[in-house]
A and B are shown apart, each in its own frame.
Chain A
């Protein structure tokens, strides 16, 4: 994850995920991964709207730790 994901990049990714889910073409494994990814991006964007730069950086670190753990599964 980049240090400062752009809102436009994020929403583009979320939109493509939702499109796939709505198109019902996703495999179960991919589906859960994608829901997780989209939820993460939505939450990140929402927090970025309300936090200062420093706070956002801390959240990103927090997320990265959580992501590292989950990708080990």
Chain B
């Protein structure tokens, strides 16, 4: 057999491949590595149960990469990056010196969207099966979320937005924020966010809630927010989480697992501020009902008190007691007046019953009688003498009688 040169061999291979694949081919594969220099160099793999059964190098030339990546990111909300599955159209090219390489001409984002959805669904099902999916939602959301753990990259625009809104809230509420730095995109994001969540967990006693906000700006790498590990860490966190990872598409695993979700970091800030405002409104309402109730109670006793209650209303309503001591005075004033009124009321009540008893008819009813001698009521023994004819008036009649005898009783004074 005659020997051929390596070059001749590679020319044969090239022509064999060209004959086998005269047209571009549609292929599905997972990106194992992605390196964007001028061109985008990829390693593509095909896995069966996590074992790589096929691998090949691929390239997206710079002139196509810009358009392809833009369309892809807009449609999927994620970058062309490691771990993503793609369906693409490629030329199978073999170069005598550089070997076999796929030249990617187009990527169909809808396949990746579907794959991500499948993966997300699987993660959600697993979290659900493990009883984790609702855990964070079931935590009691604090009345006043004032101490906030922020998981973000502190240099990111989204973090700035959140802080600016919290600090400049129109009601003057004070929030105590602590940042837990994390990488919010790329290969290391997963572990970094889990680590930040663990730190929040250790600080749980000093925090009311945890907020996860993404960098913002043009970055669109949502891939990591579908991670099982992050989902599990959120589920096991003893603090409610608000996710504000800012995207318009399907919700991510992080959104599903978090206690609450907002579209943007600014919306997260608004959600928190509104929550605190709701609490303050409740305080104001209670204050109103208390003042009103006190007013009602006291006006029932006497109208004279209303001015004092109004003073209380002014003191509690607007400035909410600028001066605690002056409130004390008001309260004492009211207390004193109410006491006085209550005493008066008691006296009045007692007076009323006296009047009732003093009505002669009522006295007669109870068994007493009035005796008249010549039309004058008999008050003392000296008013009568033996043989007098007396008229005795009872409750329901009169008796006439004659005096047969009398006896004076000496009473002690």
Q: Counting CB contacts under 8 A, is B276 at the interface?
A: yes
Q: Which A residue sits closest to B312, measured CB to CB?
A: A35
Interface centre among A8, A35, A62 (most CB of B within 10 A): A35
Interface pair A38/B290, CB less than 8 Å apart: yes
B173 / chain A contacts, CB cutoff of 8 Å: 49-50
A49 / chain B contacts, CB cutoff of 8 Å: 144, 146, 171, 173-174, 276, 279-280
Interface pair B334/A32, CB less than 8 Å apart: yes
Q: Encode contact with A along B155-192: 1 for CB under 8 Å, 0 otherwise.
A: 00000000000000001111010000000000000000
Interface pair B297/A31, CB less than 8 Å apart: yes
B297 / chain A contacts, CB cutoff of 8 Å: 21, 24, 26, 31
Given contacts A26-B297, A39-B321, A50-B172, contact A11 B335 (CB under 8 A): no
Shortest Cβ distance from residue A63 to the other chain B in the assembled complex, whole angstroms? 7
A selection of 16 A-B contacts at a CB cut-off of 8 Å is A7-B142, A11-B283, A11-B286, A18-B286, A18-B293, A21-B294, A21-B297, A24-B296, A28-B338, A28-B342, A38-B290, A39-B287, A42-B283, A49-B144, A52-B174, A66-B324
Q: Which B residue sits closest to A67, measured CB to CB?
A: B324
Q: Counting CB contacts under 8 A, is B339 at the interface?
A: yes
A31 / chain B contacts, CB cutoff of 8 Å: 294, 297, 338
Interface pair B283/A36, CB less than 8 Å apart: no
Q: Which B residue sits closest to A66, measured CB to CB?
A: B324
Q: Counting CB contacts under 8 A, is B314 at the interface?
A: no
Q: Which of B270-308 contact A (CB under 8 A)?
A: 276, 279-280, 282-283, 286-287, 289-290, 293-294, 296-297, 300
A39 contacts which of B300, B316, B325 (Cβ < 8 Å)? B316
Interface pair B328/A66, CB less than 8 Å apart: yes
Q: Which of B298-353 contact A (CB under 8 A)?
A: 300, 312, 316, 320-321, 324-325, 327-328, 331-332, 334-335, 338-339, 342
B283 / chain A contacts, CB cutoff of 8 Å: 11, 14, 42, 45-46
Interface pair B286/A15, CB less than 8 Å apart: yes
Shortest Cβ distance from residue A61 to the other chain B in the assembled complex, whole angstroms? 12
A35 / chain B contacts, CB cutoff of 8 Å: 290, 294, 312, 331, 334
The 4 A-B pairs at the shortest CB distance, nearest first, are namely A21-B293, A32-B335, A28-B338, A22-B293
Given contacts A28-B335, A46-B283, A50-B174, contact A18 B342 (CB under 8 A): no
Q: Counting CB contacts under 8 A, is A68 at the interface?
A: no
Q: Which B residue sits closest to A39, measured CB to CB?
A: B316
B320 / chain A contacts, CB cutoff of 8 Å: 39, 42-43, 46
Interface size on A, residues (CB 8 A): 35
Interface centre among B173, B293, B335 (most CB of A within 10 A): B293
Shortest Cβ distance from residue B297 to the other chain A in the assembled complex, whole angstroms? 6
What 6 additional pairs, Cβ within 8 angstroms, besides A28-B335, A36-B331?
A21-B297, A24-B300, A39-B287, A45-B280, A48-B144, A62-B324
Given contacts A11-B143, A50-B173, contact A39 B280 (CB under 8 A): no
A7 / chain B contacts, CB cutoff of 8 Å: 142-144, 279
Interface pair A63/B331, CB less than 8 Å apart: no
A8 to B208, CA, bound (A): 13
Shortest Cβ distance from residue B224 to the other chain A in the assembled complex, whole angstroms? 35
Interface pair A8/B143, CB less than 8 Å apart: yes
Q: Counting CB contacts under 8 A, is A3 at the interface?
A: no
B286 / chain A contacts, CB cutoff of 8 Å: 11, 14-15, 18, 38, 42
Q: Encode contact with B along A17-41: 1 for CB under 8 Å, 0 otherwise.
A: 1100110101011011001101110
A50 to B324, CA, bound (A): 18
A29 to B336, CA, bound (A): 9
Given contacts A7-B279, A39-B321, A42-B283, contact A22 B335 (CB under 8 A): no
Q: Which B residue sits closest to A14, measured CB to CB?
A: B286
Shortest Cβ distance from residue B333 to the other chain A in the assembled complex, whole angstroms? 10
Given contacts A11-B286, A31-B294, A49-B146, contact A42 B324 (CB under 8 A): no
Q: Which of B215-233 contact A (CB under 8 A)?
A: none
A18 / chain B contacts, CB cutoff of 8 Å: 286, 289-290, 293
